[in-house]
Structure 1
């Protein structure tokens, strides 16, 4: 009898969850305009299968629900937990209707982290800010009203997104820090969830930093050096041939002659850039620059052919179509192994892009826009060629294990779900943003999944995620994205992986001057490094314990004005209730036994 009661007690305690209750600021529309109001968010985490449930009263808009899914994903990465093994229950309550918005995303992430780690919360801290999939905190509206909400909730610290200290009100800039000071609220800017955690918990989560693996870096450089040498050779030779051909075609009219000469000069500038990048061992960047030069030169070549009557556009596009079909057969004839799946994936991605470019070429042709048809057709041809270059980088791969791609189906579904979540989230937040490109990429991912091409599904899903996230992080901290990507790469390398695509995108991002493009390619880099880790984990080719140690938790204390907590107080009450309930259950059970 005692054993049964002890067992019941253990089961009950193990399955009981202690809710985290955290306050978040929101904005409500009243007769007097917008005002800040605090809302209560209760978070429970149980064993489960990856679901996120939300109950809101009054009802909130869909962007908060999207935020909840992103928050769960980020919390899993920050804590090293596999969120496919948990269910998240989020209950939001407010006394008044609040204006919809994703500003509680960061707060929900903090709450989920504390629930996963069984940490107490500082009840005198409040936060506003979107949560982005990489853990960065995005901008929100109503900063001043939310500081007022913090005051109403008796909070002494208010965390706001980095870069939002100065708020424009009626054409004048208001310092949020000074505004908060007058209310007795200390306003602090944070750029990521890692910066926010110490204020809520007096604990610090640090991204575990891994060193670069020198041997793998050299291996990557040797692979990319080979590719860049081949592309540079082709581009330099083509430049010499096209220069001669263009100089001999004086019968091309002046307008076209000028246009083509300008394109030739542009290609020369790209080639000079590529040659310099090669000299400084920036092989991926050199390959990209040389490839872009090739596109211009190919376009010039076929434009001359069209203008001189030597080439028919329809015949040219038909030939390109035949070449792409031939390239596709080569790419898909290659066996996918643990050593070459990145290169094979790169080839498949380029075949898909070649087909899309060819579609645009035919479309331009039938609309009578022949210049555009030639540009798209030239690009499509070279993109198909590049697919073969990539899958040919590792010809001698007989000793590597062949991958059964069906094993990647659950991972592909996970990436596809993530892409749908993020794209829907962004569409909800930015309803006026053109999303045709996102929808097309998502459809491509779904089509690849239907065809059983799970590697391609993952790549197309990554493409969707990166493009969707750009509006969220456009004003973000480039240093954060760079560090985040570099650490993902280093983790992959320390697990014995050669993350070719991730290293290539990282190198290319470094070579760019445009901040948005830099952010985009750093994000591609981090996504592809994570893909490598995930694929090898699925195939059991790496140490699972190492993968779960992306972040480490320390007990470093941070300066905080308050130490009172919410969860700590609640736990005592809940434990008392649990024990009381069990005692009552045991007493009732014994009484019933005695009466029989």
Structure 2
């Protein structure tokens, strides 16, 4: 009898230990053309390791579920500043049928990951349905009404959904949930999710502190560009300008004036930059430059590029402001080079030449930020090379995930080319340029992942949530004495575009979020994870996991840049 008890113990206990923390997942499946809600079980276990992610599912799921699990884990660790480098993460999903697929379980996986790492007590009768996005933002998913019905048939009492999605197809989900005994609540990000599940607010709301040095430098930069606008406007008025052209000029002038009134100096500078390109292009068109005059201007641009590059190389990189200044100047100069290479292929030579000259001027203008004081760090080539390689790896993983989810729809994107450009910059030791190229590539993928499930009527709310996430990251870094000038500038531009161009606003919010993350430059100390020793089941479990296979889609597409920002 004693031997039988021991045998049962050996068979049962490892399985119990391996389950770790648990959450009920909600999903939908289509039966005879009708959507029906279903539920599944998610388990998370930590073992000592190297931040690897293992996933076992019953039944097998699509490959995008495997990749989205890693994505959700990375977001959870990043959002709560957790050091997840010394643990392996083992996820198990069990369902009655093949109902779990893709990003729809992302928010639940991220939330349970954070709860497990932080060893928090939580309510198992609360669950969430939604995607997880950069900045810890919760995104909407479909079939929520049916998922609420599934929750009512199980032991769930509260269902969390993405902010701004309470009214779906004219159905008030809160009222509908109450009729079934389910409480439905909206959440904006992971912080909200964990508050409802654990009763703890892990991240406090912070405001970005004023930075007089940044404001002073950016205001002077904006003034220089907008004075240039006035001068070009006067020059163009000497020619015969059509009513349509005058209306376009006035529209652009109104944009910059409005931004100045709101003291959004980066947005104003960007609008003046765009106006300068337009005005100078008109001037060159009406002046009808000869080929000799065009060549003279191009030669002048080439010489000035070399001079500015030498000046940048001579600047000591001692602060994050120094580094980000060198990054953005390098990116502008690279844009100028690309324009020069394709100049003869341009359909509008006057506008192309105008853009090239004004882009060069913007690179020169950004150099004034080398005077901005800041906290000093060791930022040598070894550190920057390591950061560049890590950022390329992150952008590759994110790109492959999007490719797997969307397939051929990604062919319209230039993300692949940006990653290849970053690799080329790495090989030529241009680490500052590599960082911004890889960061923008990752942000492009994040934008696609963030927007694929957001209905048009919810885009404004989603943009605001993303802007709030960016402000939180900048505020946290500013508190440490580190001010991300690129991230803050792009945030201001996203703010200015929010009403008129919400999708462009979302793009620059993604850029701001990615370029405000100081981990792209160095690894600061993070919260260490305490873990329990692996159970005997954990060792055997790793032998039977399903390893994620990443599929690389090589896109051959010529990228055409059309920057409107400074």
TM-score, structure 1 normalization: 0.75
Structure 2 residue aligned with 1:189: 186
8 A Cα contact 2:135 2:470, kept in partner: no
Structure 1 residue aligned with 2:544: none
Cα separation, 1, equivalents of 2:376 and 2:80: 34
Cα separation, 2, equivalents of 1:197 and 1:142: 23
Structure 2 residue aligned with 1:227: 221
Offset at 1:131?
0.6
Offset at 1:93?
2.0
Structure 1 residue aligned with 2:344: 362
Query: CA 1:486–1:187 in 2, change beyond 3 Å: closer, same or farther?
Result: closer
Cα separation, 1, equivalents of 2:311 and 2:512: 27
Matches within 5 A, 1:133-148: 133-148=134-149
Matches within 5 A, 1:448-467: 448-467=425-444
Offset at 1:333?
4.8
Query: CA 1:381–1:333 in 2, change beyond 3 Å: closer, same or farther?
Result: farther
Offset at 1:313?
5.9
Moved more, 16-25 or 140-149: 16-25
Cα separation, 2, equivalents of 1:328 and 1:483: 36
Query: CA 1:427–1:407 in 2, change beyond 3 Å: closer, same or farther?
Result: same
Determine helix, strand or coil for the equivalent of 2:135: coil
Offset at 1:39?
1.6
Query: CA 1:491–1:289 in 2, change beyond 3 Å: closer, same or farther?
Result: same
RCO higher in structure (CA 8 A, sep ≥6): 2
Matches within 5 A, 1:196-211: 196-201=193-198, 203-211=199-207
Structure 2 residue aligned with 1:7: none
Determine helix, strand or coil for the equivalent of 2:26: strand
Determine helix, strand or coil for the equivalent of 1:346: helix
Structure 2 residue aligned with 1:427: 403
Establish whether residue 296 from structure 1 lines up as the match of residue 272 from structure 2: no
Offset at 1:117?
1.4
How many residue pairs get aligned? The number is: 506
Query: CA 1:377–1:428 in 2, change beyond 3 Å: closer, same or farther?
Result: farther
8 A Cα contact 2:391 2:520, kept in partner: no
Establish whether residue 72 from structure 1 lines up as the match of residue 73 from structure 2: yes
Cα separation, 2, equivalents of 1:212 and 1:148: 42
Offset at 1:350?
0.9
Query: CA 1:153–1:408 in 2, change beyond 3 Å: closer, same or farther?
Result: farther
Unmatched 5+ residue regions in structure 2?
1-16, 539-566
Structure 1 residue aligned with 2:237: 243
Cα separation, 1, equivalents of 2:80 and 2:365: 40
Determine helix, strand or coil for the equivalent of 1:44: strand
Cα separation, 1, equivalents of 2:339 and 2:153: 56
Query: CA 1:131–1:280 in 2, change beyond 3 Å: closer, same or farther?
Result: closer
Cα separation, 2, equivalents of 1:125 and 1:211: 30
Establish whether residue 527 from structure 1 lines up as the match of residue 504 from structure 2: no
Establish whether residue 28 from structure 1 lines up as the match of residue 25 from structure 2: no
Matches within 5 A, 1:314-393: 320=301, 323-324=304-305, 327-338=308-319, 339-364=321-346, 369=347, 371=348, 373-393=349-369
Establish whether residue 282 from structure 1 lines up as the match of residue 264 from structure 2: yes
Cα separation, 1, equivalents of 2:495 and 2:72: 29
Structure 2 residue aligned with 1:252: none
TM-score, structure 2 normalization: 0.79
Cα separation, 2, equivalents of 1:78 and 1:363: 45
Structure 2 residue aligned with 1:563: none
Offset at 1:418?
2.4
Cα separation, 2, equivalents of 1:128 and 1:527: 25
Deviations 1:537-563 (A, max 9, x none): 54xxxxx56x769xxxxxxxxxxxxxx
Query: CA 1:119–1:530 in 2, change beyond 3 Å: closer, same or farther?
Result: same
Cα separation, 2, equivalents of 1:445 and 1:325: 21
8 A Cα contact 2:130 2:139, kept in partner: yes
Determine helix, strand or coil for the equivalent of 2:160: strand
Unmatched 5+ residue regions in structure 1?
1-15, 248-256, 539-543, 550-570, 579-596
Query: CA 1:575–1:218 in 2, change beyond 3 Å: closer, same or farther?
Result: same
8 A Cα contact 2:329 2:367, kept in partner: yes
Moved more, 413-422 or 38-47: 413-422
Structure 1 residue aligned with 2:249: 267
- Flag the structure with larger Rg: 1
Cα separation, 2, equivalents of 1:385 and 1:165: 48
Cα separation, 1, equivalents of 2:251 and 2:160: 47
8 A Cα contact 1:317 1:361, kept in partner: no
Determine helix, strand or coil for the equivalent of 1:84: coil
Query: CA 1:500–1:363 in 2, change beyond 3 Å: closer, same or farther?
Result: same
Query: CA 1:267–1:453 in 2, change beyond 3 Å: closer, same or farther?
Result: same
